[in-house]
Amino acid sequence: MARAHIDMELRWGDQDRYGHVNNVAYARYLEEARVRVFGMGSAREATGMEGHFRDEDHGGSKMLVANQQIEFLGVLEYAKQPITVELWIGRLGGSSLEVHYEVVDGSAAERRVVARAVTTMVIVDGETLRPVRLSDEGRTAVEPWTDAPVRMRRG
């Protein structure tokens, strides 16, 4: 029912020659949001979702991106205010989970969503890269952060 909030600095270099934040940078923001939630446990909230799916330093398991869709709703300008990535679990499968997001412009006076996105993550064995089932602890951990799927115009 709740969303994790990840505040994230923009970099001047995220802009392209059009003078806006480039679409490729958004994919980087989503990756960083996932790492902070599932790896570092450094979102604004103590979500308890870290450490269940990624164990990169011990070869235990990895989260691979199987599919990612991003809808761009408006132009984002480089600014000193951090953006906020709102992140939740939109669907839970046997060995996969869907991460849903809204990206909020930090420099706008009102809440302005500049992008919506969905990433399908597959949990795989660190060596074989074969899918492994989500553990019961992992399922329990993400349950409080599960909510209705984000709505996009397309797809």
100 binds a second copy (CB under 8 A): no
Reported in sequence order, the residue ranges of the chain that DSSP labels E, i.e. its strands, are: 4-8, 61-72, 83-92, 96-104, 113-125
Q: Least distance (Å) from a second copy to the CB of residue 62?
A: 6
Measure the CA–CA gap between 52 and 151, rounded to whole angstroms.
27
135 binds a second copy (CB under 8 A): no
67 binds a second copy (CB under 8 A): yes
Residue whose pair of structure tokens reads 């960083």 in the numeric block: 32
Q: Could you tell me which residues come within 8 angstroms of residue 148 by beta carbon, excluding any fewer than 6 positions away?
A: 90
Within 136-155, the residues that bind a second copy by CB under 8 A are 152-155
| Residues within the interface to a second copy (CB under 8 A) | 8-9, 11-13, 15-19, 22-24, 27-28, 31-32, 35-36, 39-40, 42, 56, 62, 64-72, 75, 80, 120, 129, 152-155
